[in-house]
Every structure is written in structure tokens, then in C-alpha cells.
Amino acid sequence: MAKLEISLLGGFEARLSPGGPLALKGRKTQALLARLAPGAPCSREALTALLWSDRGEEQARGSLRQALAELRRVFAGTGLTPLVVDREAARLDAEIVSVDAAAFERALAEGSPEALARAAELYVGPLLDGFPAVDPAFEDWLRAARAGLAERARDALTRLLAHRRESGDGAAAVATARALLEIDPLQEPVHRALMELYAAAGERTLALKQFEACRDLLRAELGVDPEAETRNLYDRIRAAQGTGGKNAAPASAAEESAVLPLPDKPSIAVLPLVNMSGDPEQEYFADGITEDVITELSRFGELFVIARNSCFAYKGKPAKVQEIGRDLGVQYVVEGSLRKAGSRVRMTVQLVEAASGNHVWAER
């Protein structure tokens, strides 16, 4: 039986299974479907206030009728009737509609380690990440809903991290900790957990680099230094590595070549595009394009995409692709440059295999 699948985490997409994406006209129509996706009935009054807050009551109700008619038109060509509407409210039929955010919530409610692992796989990014602005009221709703969902994801991953550390699954624990930092890179206890996991695996060089990343983030974002517990952990690891004095033995070859465990799907880091315009003002433009590329790649569930903060740590710093691949634990790196002159933009990008440094693809 065909079903309508709606993705809200990490972006928005509506598609048939089996089949392909639905062609929905208009941002308001997409926003309406996204709001109805959780499944519970939503009153017409609430929908008009959310999507047409700047219009009078009659005009807003007319706009809602048009958007609902557009959804019916799209669904009519699929053979499905997922939209249930009456005089007071609208909803989606949960029997023929699957929503990733709803599956995420069910996994959280179950709470077992296996369910938490499913929830971690489902949470590929913030709710409706990159969704265009449609109405101030909708933005307010989305901001609150996004924050609540991110908080629940963080709680689930924190519990999963504790379970995986207790069970001794170091590689899975590392992946979970990294996913936690994707949600909130300022979680100092998670940085400490990663340092301990790396050190326990004999990867003390990576543990020390994790401290440096934590320190730099805290200073840049909050203007503070790491807590004493974090600094003491760093000192213990550094002493164990033997780098405390000028006559200390160098790190072992295994430590120097330590790499993060690669995810079980293609992984990629997008480095900040280099501004070649000669105009410092264009730095913001180049950074914005880089963020857009990261956001768009993150929509593909089959890819593991490193978050913006981790990628931008390399902005303006000379580093070999091989080193970046080892530091971030990715198979591929995207690098390039951007030149803007008037209304014309030239962007050159290369996809590089991190381990070998070989160019896989390039485009201008």
C-alpha cells in the first residue's frame, strides 16, 4: 500500500512511498502540510493565526481554503486521501501518513537503548531546518518547537551515550558524543566524555585536540575557559602521553595517525569557501554560501555531514586535507573559493578523498 512520507527533521520533504517527492506549490502550502504532519487535529482558527497573521479574518480563512484545496489537488493525483478536513479543523490520517518526527517521539517514549538508537538515527537535524520564512507567527511556533525537539534529542543522546559507555562500546559511544555536539557544541561534559573515550582507546592525540576544540569554542562563543575538571583531565592525558616536558618522549606513531571511527555511511565536511574577491565584506557572503551547502547536503539522510561549527574551525588556517579528514573522521572534504564582482558570482569547488588527497570531482 502506498503511503505519504513526510520528513521534518533536518529539512522538509513530502514524498510517496513507493514513488517520489510531491510537487507542492507555494511556501504557505508547504508550511500548512508541515504543521499538520504531527497528526493531531489543528483548528482552522489556529492555522489562520499561524500562517496568515497579517490578514483579516475573512481573508485569512479564504487563504486557508485555497491552501487546503491545493493539498487536495496534489493528493488527488496520488490515489491517497490523507487530508481529513471538516468545518472546524484539519488533520492528516496517521494510517497512511508516516512522519519522521512522530517516529522520533515514539522512540523517545519507548526509552530502551535500542529505541534511543533509533531516535538518534532519525534526528538528522533541527526541525524544518532551512525552511523559508512564511509568517512571524509561524516563525515563533517553529522556534519553540525546534528548541523543544532539540532538547529532547539531546536528552535521548545523553542517555544513549551513558548506556554505550557502560556497555563498553567505545566506537558507538564516540559517534553518539559527536552527534550530541552537533546539536550543541558547547556541552563541556560531552567534550570531556570524548576526551576520555579517545584516551581509553589509546588515541591521546585526539583527546588533546578535543580539549583544544572545546577551549576554542568556549572562548569564542561564551568568553570563558574550560572548567577545572576539563583542564585537569587534559593535564592527566597530556602527562600520560609524555608531552609534559621538553625531554619527554614523542607520541607513538599509532597516536599520531589515530583517526576517528568513520560513520557507516558516506561522510563529508564542507570547508569555508575562500573569498577571492579582494573585498573583506564578501567574507559574509562566502560564509553564507558555505552554510547553505552544508544545509542542503544535510537534507540527504544517506550522508553524514559535519556541522558548521566543526567545519568553520578551519577557516583561515592552513591544514592538509588528510589532517582534516583524520580530525573530523570523514571520508570526503569539499573545498573551494568564491569570487563576486557586481551581480556575477564564480564559485569553484572540489570534492577530495580525505585519505589520499585525490580529487574525486570538481566544478565551476
- What confidence tens digit (pLDDT) does each residue in 201-245 have? 888 888 998 999 899 889 988 899 999 999 999 999 988 876 443
Burial 44-70 (b: 16+ CB within 10 A, else e): beebbbbbbeeeeeeebbebbeebbeb
pLDDT tens-digit readout, 281-304: 678 888 889 988 998 888 888 888
| Mean pLDDT score, 125-145 | 92
Which pLDDT score is estimated for 257?
44
pLDDT at 77: 79
| Grid cell listed for 134 | 512564511
Average pLDDT score over residue span 258-271? 75
pLDDT reported for residue 342:
61
Which contacts (CB < 8 Å, 24+ apart) does range 248-254 have?
A: 251/204, 251/205, 254/202
Q: Which of 71-85, 141-155, 269-283, 291-305 has the highest mean pLDDT?
A: 141-155
Write down the pLDDT at residue 277.
65
Q: What's the confidence (pLDDT) of residue 261? A: 61
pLDDT tens digits, 334-362: 998 887 766 678 788 889 888 888 778 87
Binning pLDDT at 50, 70 and 90, where does residue 329 land? confident
Q: What is the mean pLDDT of the chain?
A: 86
Query: Can you tell me which residue has the cell 564542507?
Result: 270
How much is the pLDDT for 124? 85
pLDDT for residue 321: 84
Per-residue pLDDT band for 89 (boundaries 50, 70, 90) equals: very high
Q: What is the mean pLDDT of the segment spanning 140-160?
A: 94
245-260 per-residue burial string, b: 16 or more CB within 10 A, e: under 16: eeeeeebeeebeebbb
What is the model's pLDDT at position 232? 94
pLDDT of 240 reads 86
Answer whether residue 308 shows pLDDT above 90.
Answer: no
**Is residue 315 predicted with pLDDT exceeding 50?**
yes
Domains and CATH numbers, the chain: 1-184 (1.10.10.10), 190-257 (no CATH), 267-363 (3.40.50.10610)
What pLDDT is recorded for position 260?
Answer: 57
Q: Which of 176-185, 191-200, 325-334 has the highest mean pLDDT?
A: 191-200
92-132 pLDDT, tens digit each = 998 899 999 999 999 999 999 999 999 988 998 899 988 98
Determine contact, residues 58/45, Cβ cutoff 8 Å.
no
Identify the H or E element spanning 78. Answer: none
For 121, list phi and psi in degrees, rounded to 5. -70, -35
